[in-house]
Amino acid sequence: MRKLKAICGGCLLFASVGVASADLDQHSELGPSELALQAGYGHYGAVIQQGSGNEAALTQQGLQQLARINQDGSGNTAYAVQSGVANAADIRQIGDANQVHAEQAGMHNAIDVLQVGTGNTAAMLQAGSANLVTVEQVGSSNRAEIDQSATGSSVAVRQYGNSNTARVVQY
């Protein structure tokens, strides 16, 4: 199946090669932007945005990737890139000016991010198989960076308050 859908005024783009589905939903008069690119089979991607000036991009390659991005606020940015088999990402942003960059390669990896507040940043790179990354940021100006390449590993970063910094490298 080949599908290309473009609507601008809020900028919505969805492209798919293979068998995949994406659910893109915008709720704003100022028009947030969404981008979903899928190649392979059995992918599911959902982007839900409420507020103004939010940006989300989702790229899925391989087989059976699952990703959800939910943004409620203004000026939030979320990017999810997945390749391999059966990886999952769940990104929720509530507040303003939060940023997430999540990349996964391998098999059966999962990323779960919750940001509540203003100006939080989370960046993660995950490769291997059966790994889990959990990031929870509640407050303002928190920063988390995670680099994980292993098998069967997990990382959990929970930041409450303001201006916390965490960097985790696990191989």
Q: What is the pLDDT of residues 91-104, one digit of tens each?
A: 999 999 999 999 99
Q: What is the pLDDT of residues 29-84, one digit of tens each?
A: 334 466 666 677 788 888 889 999 999 988 888 999 999 999 999 999 999 999 99
Residues contacting residue 139 through CB under 8 Å, at least 6 positions apart = 116, 117, 120, 159, 160, 161, 162, 164
Provide the residue range defining the domain that includes 72: 2-170
Domain count, the chain: 1
**Is pLDDT larger for residue 171 or for residue 142?**
142
Residue 119, helix vs strand vs coil:
coil
Q: Could you say which DSSP state residue 163 is in?
A: S
Residue in 32, 4, 113, 31 with CA at minimum distance from that of residue 69: 113
**Alpha helices (runs of H) in 20-77, residue ranges in sequence order:** none
User: Using CA atoms, how far apart are residues 167 and 122, in angstroms rounded to an integer?
Assistant: 10
With beta carbons less than 8 A apart as the criterion, state whether 129 and 105 touch: no
Q: Could you say which DSSP state residue 8 is in?
A: T
Question: Of all helices (H) and strands (E), which one includes residue 159?
Answer: strand 154-162
